[in-house]
Chains A and B, each alone.
Chain A
Amino acid sequence: MMKNDVDNTQGDTRLAIEVDDLRVIRGGRVVIPGLTMTVPIGQVTGLLGPSGCGKSTLMRAIVGVQRVASGEVRVLGRPAGSVELRRLVGYVTQAPSVYGDLTVRENLGFFASVLAAPPTDPDRVIAAVDLGTHADSRVDRLSGGQRAWASLAVALLGAPRVLVLDEPTVGLDPVLRRDLWRLFHELAADGVSVLVSSHVMDEAERCERLLLMREGGMLADESPAALLERTGAADVESAFLSIVDQAGAAA
């Protein structure tokens, strides 16, 4: 019964995430009317769009915690949220989901045992997110940025192949933001597929691939350079505007 036919159902093996005609309704409102997109393996993909455009909902659907109305979401060739993916997909929500009354190390120790990660893993990820000096501080005594790092550290436990990160850089100071992007690229170099959302367009240039989202739909899916070339815009923000204007003119 537990044996499953993963090989028969495997999609494109170069894709980390495939979303096909996804439709999501939240609270009676159509948040995503029918969205198709892919995320390649081993790259940092940026999911950009204004607040409320459906980025978080799309990410929740990819992780398998969002109830969807119709459509298909596959991660590493398996249906989103399936049992085999629960060790392979790391997910970080906008609000840090860690226990405030435990220390960073205790939080990581707990989640490591849930994931059956090696006992040395908490120390490894503490070093990766540079929280060494705060490892034994209670999370609720840390700054907002440090709490976000602690939450990110949990997602790095074990050996995730796909990381889904919802606005991880919000409110971080520029130095920390640079460090975070450096970490994403290091992870991608190790073959991890990183999907990062942001509502700040200037973060787009740090991604290898861009997904521009607006009102639950996908405006663009290409590399930052290709996007700028196609639209003739000087930066991603202007490119975004010119695509929205064109769509408006065509309609």
Chain B
Amino acid sequence: MATQTRMPVAAGEAAAVVDRIRVSVPDRGIRHDVRAVGIVWRRELIRFRTDRLRAITSLVQPFLFLFILGTGLSTLAGGGLPHTGSFDFKTFIYPGVLAMSVLFTAIFSAGSIVWDREFGFLREILVAPVSRAAIVIGKCLGGTTIATFQGVIFLCLAWFAHVPYNPALLLSLIGLLLLLSFTLTAFGVMMAARIKQFQAFMALTQMLVLPLFFLSGALYPLTGLPAWLTVLTRLDPLTYIVGPMRHLVFSYLHVPPQVAGLISTHLAPSITWAGWVVPIWLSLGIVAAMGLVMTAVAIAEFSKTE
């Protein structure tokens, strides 16, 4: 069995002696931290690559929303959306569902921290002579990468929602997906720092994810809502990314001018705070700032458990 392999290393022995001398772990420095970020990120990718089932299952939900719900509700609107005549409902919900396609992947990738804690691997990470920040950042970037990758797969289906494959549009959307994925992963990592059981983490995130999705205006326009709902939608961070995404997608649609006017007033209105129009840069800034703050909180949490 395995024991035999210990013998035939005679050739490697001389080399090994030299190598043993060279193994001297350096003092902590930026380069060391960067390597730590890199390996935590890479582990996330390896785990994702080997777990194809997860990649497929997390695409099922956005699929259902776009094709089943989207098609079904189209008939309710009589072949087109009110105000616009022939505007497909699938096109309307596509940006929101695109956001959804990264939602679960991002948060559950962070959930693997809780899993690692339960199965011991987190200990291996936390006893290493490396800064907690490097570990948290690596984790956030890993989740960001695989979630964005999921989003890109969903992006390939744009044609079914009558969204054109315009390179500039696709690149901008990928940029927005990166931002969204990062903030969501940071949120997940922050939660995972505190929650010790995987089941509890799943239950809690499930409970939070759907309201976040529903309140973001992914499935309906943010106009003419009752006051209480208007307030709630403005409190949902997802609102500030779904809005710009829809804006972007609609600006690339080929529609008659009169429909375009209706779109901007009824279907994709700008986000407002008590009448004040929130500019897109601020909208995205809010999302980015939240991601950074949550990353900082997560780093603080993990440093505490040291």
A binds B: no
